[in-house]
Amino acid sequence: MSAADQRTHDLPQDRPGRSSVIERVTLVLDAFANGPAVLLLEDISRASGLPRSTAFRIVAQLEKSGWLTKQAPGYALGPRAHTLHASADDAVTLRAVANQTLNELREATDGVVHLGALDGSDVVYLERLGAGTASAVPSSIGARVSVERTVLGLAILAAIEPERVDRMVAVAGRDRLHAQLGAIRRRHGVAATSAAHCALGIGSVAAPIVVRGRPVGALSVAVVGRPTVRLIQPLVVDAARRVSAELALRRENLGSRDLAQEA
């Protein structure tokens, strides 16, 4: 039995519902991950182990939603799939570059260190490091929070043009948001909340990671039970600058390598 036949055999054939649909969609997308860039419908059916009619219905829905695109005489991955792949690659690179600096920042501050990136109007937590009172800080890797509700997001927004912020974030208190972002810009991009103004007694400081004038993420430190965060602010700013510089250097090196290969 082939791998595709085995996967199809393992599916709940007689149980319709959301899980079976997701499994069949996964089989179709796996056909592109493991095969040529452009596949005929017959290729998709054979690789996924699905009947041609079932494969056609799934392909039609994936094309309609942008996950696949028609490329005569077959199909290829669409813009949504490529955007997701690029975002995933960026997140992996950012985590790899920031890893050592984040660990040093955790040791220096004894707080909970976060690394986040913008995804639409949300901030996604890419990394979380902490010890001691870390359990008191309600955050987790992979969590998504509306960008205006966290210091990570505010630090990123403050590094973006106000007009673009208006297009990205639809909030009722837009004037208040812009006032917050203006104050952050006057602090050279540092977003902070005091433990005294947090119900959980958590103070946080965040600074953006900026490459070529564009924010690619932010890092923050959260501390519990301290009346001020001024002591950790210089450490956070320095860490963000170091990550920004290392990320810029890596991108320059990759660009130079690509040019050398083309030559």
- HEC readout, 11-65: CCCCCCCHHHHHHHHHHHHHHHHCCCCCECHHHHHHHHCCCHHHHHHHHHHHHHC
- Is the peptide bond between 51 and the residue preceding it cis, with omega within 30 degrees of 0? no
CB 48 within 8 A of CB 57: no
163-186 per-position pLDDT tens digit: 888 888 876 778 899 999 999 999
Range of the domain at 36: 3-77
Amino acid identity for residue 61 in this structure = Q
* 51 and 15 within one domain: yes
pLDDT at 156 over 90: yes
Phi, psi dihedrals of residue 223, rounded to the nearest 5°: -125, 150
Instruction: Specify the pLDDT at position 200.
Output: 75
pLDDT at 136 over 90: no
Q: What's the CA gap between 9 and 3, in Å, rounded?
A: 10
Average pLDDT, the chain: 82
Place of tokens 């977003």: 191
Place of tokens 């005569």: 72
Choose between 257 and 60: higher pLDDT: 60
pLDDT band at 207 (very low <50, low <70, confident <90, very high): very high
* 154 and 236 within one domain: yes
CB 40 within 8 A of CB 70: no
* 191 and 125 within one domain: yes
Where residue 38 sits, what CATH number does that domain have?
1.10.10.10
* 52 and 123 within one domain: no
CB 156 within 8 A of CB 208: yes
* 21 and 98 within one domain: no
Where residue 141 sits, what CATH number does that domain have?
3.30.450.40
* 213 and 112 within one domain: yes
Instruction: Specify the pLDDT at position 238.
Output: 97
Strand, coil or helix: what is 106?
A: helix
Tell me what percent of the residues of the chain surpass a pLDDT of 90: 40
* 136 and 27 within one domain: no
Q: What's the CA gap between 5 and 8, in Å, rounded?
A: 5
* 119 and 238 within one domain: yes
Instruction: Specify the pLDDT at position 153.
Output: 95
pLDDT at 254 over 80: no
* 59 and 18 within one domain: yes
Alpha helix (H) ranges present in 169-262? 174-186, 233-262
Pick from 77, 104, 120: which residue ends a domain? 77
Pick from 25, 49, 77: which residue ends a domain? 77
* 149 and 61 within one domain: no
* 134 and 64 within one domain: no
pTM of the predicted model, to two decimals?
0.65
Question: Count of domains in the chain?
Answer: 2
pLDDT at 133 over 70: no
* 90 and 67 within one domain: no
Residue 188 CA, chain-centre distance (Å), reads 24
pLDDT at 22 over 70: yes
Amino acid identity for residue 171 in this structure = V
Pick from 61, 77, 93: which residue ends a domain? 77
